[in-house]
A and B are shown apart, each in its own frame.
Chain A
Amino acid sequence: MLTVEGLRSRYGRIEVLHGLDLEVSSGEIVTVVGANGAGKTTLLKCLSGTQPVSDGTIVFRGESFASVPAHKRLKRGLAQSPEGRQIFTNLTVEENLRLGAFLFTDERVDRDMADAFAMFPILKEKRNLAAGGLSGGQQQMLAIARALMGRPHCLLLDEPSMGLAPLLVAQIFDVVKSLKERDVTVLLVEQNAYGALKIADRGYVMETGRITMTGAAPDLIADPRIREAYLGL
Chain B
Amino acid sequence: MIPAAFDYVRAGSAEEALAALAEHGDEAKLMAGGHSLIPLMRFRLVTPGVVVDVGNIDGDLRGIRVDGDVVRIGALTRHSELEHSTDLAASCPLLAHVASVVGDPSVRHRGTLGGSLAHADPASDLPAAILALGGSLVARGPGGEREIAASDFFTGFLESALAPDELLTEVRVPVSTGGWNYQKFNRRAQDWAIVAVAVSDGGKGVSLVNMGSTPLRATAVEEAVAGGASAAEAAAHAADGTTPPEDLNGDADYRSHLARVLTERALNAAGLA
Q: Is B truly associated with A?
A: no
